[in-house]
Amino acid sequence: MTKEERYKGIIEWFGKNKPIAETELHYKDPFQLLIAVILSAQCTDKRVNMVTPALFEAFPTPEVLAAATPEAVYEYIKSVSYPNNKAKHLVGMAKVLLEEFHGEMPSEVKDLIKMPGVGRKTANVIASVVFDKPAMAVDTHVFRVSNRIGLTDNSKTPLETEKELTKYIPEALIPKAHHWLILHGRYVCIARKPKCEECGIKAWCKFFLQPDGEK
C-alpha cells in the first residue's frame, strides 16, 4: 500500500463516517477558546470544561483578565495541570492581546505565538477553528496516531508530523482532519491498547496490518 493510498482510504472513511468533527472544549468566542486551549495543555478537555464557566464569568473580556493578578486567576483554575504557570500565561496573554492587537484575535500563527502560553500547537488550533485556516495542530493524540497508523514515517517532532500531514491532506480538509485524528486517538486509537476491533480505518492502518503487531 502506498502512502497516497493510505491517506486516501483514511480520509474517505472519516469523511463518510465522521462528517462532523469539532473541538470538545466549550467556548462562545475566540477569546474564550484561546483561554480553554491554553488550559488544555497536558490536561483533559473534560477538566477544562469544568473550570471555564466560572473563569469566563469572572474574567469576561481581555481588559478584565489583563487587569487581574495571576493569584486571582489561579483560584479558578487550580484543579487543572500546572495552574501557577497557566495563571501567569493567561494574564500575560490578555495584556499582549490588548497592547499589540487591540483586543482583536489575530488570525496568523506568527502573531498568535507572540502571546504568553501560546505555542505553535495552540496557535494552529485558533487559526484552524476560528479562522478555518489550513493549520494542523499536533497534540499528543495527533502525534501518536499519525505515527502508529502510518500517516507519518516515525516523525520525531510535532513539527515534522505537521509538515507531513499538511503535505498529503487536502488543504480544505486540514481543519477537520485535525479533529478526526484527535478524537480517534482519544476514543479508539488510545495509547496503551488501541481498540482495533472497533476501528473503522484498520484496513489502511500500518500498525494493524503489520505481521507482528500486538493487537
Distance between CA atoms of 169 and 212, rounded to whole angstroms? 28
Helix, strand, coil percent content, the chain, rounded in steps of 5: 60, 0, 40
Catalytic residue among 16, 78, 121, 153: 121
**CA–CA gap between residue 102 and residue 147 (Å, rounded):** 40
Catalytic annotation present for 139:
yes
Give the whole-angstrom CA distance, residue 211 versus residue 215: 10
DSSP category for residue 104: P
Q: 193, 6 in Cβ contact below 8 A?
A: no
| Residues making up the chain, counted from first to last | 215
Annotated active-site residue in 29, 78, 86, 139: 139
In angstroms, the CA 92 to CA 81 distance is 18
The catalytic residues are 121, 139
